[in-house]
Structure 1
Amino acid sequence: MWQGDWRLQDDWTADDQRSGRGTERAEASREDEPEEEEEDDGVADGSDAVAQGVAALGLGTYGAHMFRPKNPAYKEVWHTASLYHLVHTAALLGAPITKRPNVFGGLLSAGIVLFSGTCYTVAYLKDRKFSSLAPLGGFAFIAAWASLLL
């Protein structure tokens, strides 16, 4: 209860504080309060974009400096994979501020895995038989960008 003096709020005074009276009540009220826990609401928080960025830079660096296939076409496939991986990772950073972050972020992530992952696999194994999933990744990229219109 306010008594006109800032020290006399509620019914606990400075004298009570010095004597230790009233502390039991304050401690008991703190025990009744639920602990604040971070709630996972399923919305992308950017940590997935950071992980994708690390992977994109690492794979791009590997492709530029260490990947030396006999057929230069596979080097170009690797370059395309790392370019799309990096560009869509940058877009993934913006997912939390979109209207539907789970849709946009999920489709971008699916596109990265399906398109870039397939291209990395084709280039690394030097075998085009694994290329069938790349178009699905491309469609996922298109759907992600189109989801921004909704």
Structure 2
Amino acid sequence: MTAVKTTPGSIIRWSLAIGGLAALLAVIAGAFGAHGLRGVVTERALSVFETAVSYQMYHALALIVTALMPALGLKRRLLAVASGFWVAGIVLFSGSLYLLVLSGTHWLGPVTPVGGVCFMVGWALLIAAALKRERR
């Protein structure tokens, strides 16, 4: 078995792939919510599901754009860590909301804010990357 190369550059490439996958899944989830859940769950639950889809798509797009930012001279390591926090946010925030709506399991509620914090940390790291240029 070979080791996976995990340089900041390879992580940035992965953020493009994961961002594309997350966007695809957000479109699928949005269609499922609009067509499969309407009339099955309450309007409040549908609104929660739509929030999960929206936040997933926002952060999928952020991952895709971040993959292009090293060309601007932004620090790859900070971009890579920001991407990791956004992926964690998608899983924790959107994932917990999806499960909450689909399963009715309310113990997942406390997980959602952790995902929200991950989103915020990712954005703060993007700001730091914008202010601290890569040394060449």
- TM band (smaller chain): 0.7 to 0.9
The structure where helix makes up a greater share of residues is: 2
Shift of residue 86 of structure 1? 0.7
Instruction: Encode CA deviations 1:100-137: one digit per residue, 9 max, x unaligned.
Output: 22111101100000000000000111232221110000
What's 1:134 paired with?
Answer: 112
Aligned counterparts, 1:38-57, within 5 A = 41=7, 42-45=10-13, 46-57=16-27
Normalising by structure 2, report the TM-score.
0.75
Which stretches in structure 2 are left out of the alignment for 5+ residues? 129-136
Give, in whole Å, the separation in 2 of the partners of 1:70 and 1:54.
23
Give ranges in structure 1 of 5+ residues lacking alignment. 1-38
Give yes or no for the alignment of 1:116 onto 2:94.
yes
* 1:149 counterpart letter in structure 2: I
- Counterparts of 2:97 and 2:52, CA distance in 1: 5
For CA contacts below 8 A with separation 6 or more, give which structure has more relative contact order.
2
Q: Which runs of 4+ in 1 moved over 4 A?
A: none
Distance 2:92 2:109 in 1: 10
Aligned residues of 1:60 and 1:82 also touching (Cα < 8 A): yes
Provide the alpha-carbon RMSD of the alignment.
1.6
- 1:25-75: per-residue Cα shift (whole Å, max 9, x none)? xxxxxxxxxxxxxx7633221111111111111111101111133422111
Choose from 77, 85, 88 the match for 2:59. 88
Aligned mates of 2:32, 2:125 — CA distance in 1: 33
Give the 3 Å change call, closer, same or farther, for CA 101–85 of structure 1 in structure 2.
same
Rg larger in structure: 1
CA distance in 1 between counterparts of 2:28 and 2:41 reads 22
Aligned length: 112
Q: 1:61 is matched with which residue: 18, 31, 48? A: 31
Q: TM-score, normalised by structure 1?
A: 0.69
CA distance in 1, matches of 2:53, 2:86: 14
| Structure 1 residue 90: Cα displacement | 0.6
